[in-house]
Amino acid sequence: MNRRVLSLILALGLALTLGIAPALADNAKLTVGASPTPHGEILGFVVPLLAEQGVDLIVTEFTDYVLPNLALEEGDLDANYFQHRPYLNDFNANNGTHLVWLADVHYEPMGIYPGKVKSLADLPDGAEVAVPNDTTNEARALLLLEAEGLIKLPEGAGLDVTVKDIAENPKNLKITELEAAQIPRALPDFDIAVINGNYALEAGLVAGTDALAIEGKDSLAADTFANGVVVKEGNEENEAALKLVEVLHSDAVRAFIEETYKDAGYQAKF
């Protein structure tokens, strides 16, 4: 069943079964920034449902992790949906922005994907590895490499760990930090790469079949790195944004996420 048909079926079910609070008296516009996959697709699913609740949802897609936060800070967006809480906290600290977490929605496991080498067991000495260059996702990638026995980090390493902190590197891995969105395109140039779930999916990589290793559904990462809705400080009570969260937290949206992206290991986190 393709995504469009599945969306229509689930949308109909949601419209019939949701006990959502009364619609807003006057149609309100809500402009939300999102990564195309899966965030933009999930928001596309809820557009008609929010319209029934008096909210005209306008989805603006971004292909990086910086611009949607800057646009939200500047007031060009009412909310965004693309990131996890540690990234948001790090972004605020480094950029002086005033963005706040509104709600968890779903989790995307980060994975190790094959480039020139098709098995972790065959990874040679001096292998070249690509990881994201933003602070929290780099740390997350390094923790996954450690979980697979490829490196050793200092005891108690947290979300600020970098390649400079690697305590043991028995295979002498040559780790290159790249902007997260660029890594799938650069994959053929590396032996392996650690890729965020949304960028992997956009590149046609499926965690369940293509990844050499992924974060577990019950891991600390699954709780720490849920993706969610973010607004600018002071807008936490925006009625249209709260309507969006209400619909995103429905059983039908849960079913849409987990059925549409099950092969990628995505799961709802509400």
For residue range 178-195, list pLDDT tens digits in order.
999 999 999 999 999 999
pLDDT, greater one: 12 or 122 = 122
2 pLDDT above the threshold of 80: no
Q: Name the pLDDT band for 6 (thresholds 50, 70, 90).
A: very low
Give the tens place of pLDDT for each residue, 100-110: 999 999 999 99
Contacts of 44 (CB under 8 A, 6+ apart): 7, 59
Q: How confident is the model at residue 17 (pLDDT cuts 50, 70, 90)?
A: very low
- What is the residue range of 262's domain? 3-108+225-268
Same domain, 121 and 158: yes
Examine the domain organization and report whether 102 and 115 are in the same domain: no
Is the domain of 101 the same as that of 115? Answer: no
Are 130 and 192 part of one and the same domain? yes
Please tell me whether residues 157 and 115 are part of one structural domain: yes
Share the mean pLDDT of the chain.
91
Same domain, 136 and 175: yes
Residues 42 and 58 both lie in one domain: yes
- Please tell me the predicted confidence (pLDDT) of residue 5: 44
We report the CATH number of the domain holding residue 207 as: 3.40.190.10
9: confidence class by pLDDT, cuts 50, 70, 90: very low
- With a pLDDT cut of 90, the percent of the chain lying above it is 84
The answer to whether residue 218 scores a pLDDT higher than 90 is no
Q: How confident is the model at residue 156 (pLDDT cuts 50, 70, 90)?
A: confident
Looking at the fold, whether 128 and 194 belong to one and the same domain comes out as: yes
* Domains identified in the chain, total number: 2
Q: Say if residue 60 is in the same domain as residue 115.
A: no
116 shares its domain with 208: yes
Are residue 71 and residue 94 in the same domain, yes or no?
A: yes
State whether 194 and 127 are in the same domain.
yes
- Model confidence pLDDT, tens digit, residues 45-93: 999 999 999 999 999 999 999 999 999 999 999 999 999 999 999 999 9
Residue 222: pLDDT band with limits 50, 70, 90: confident
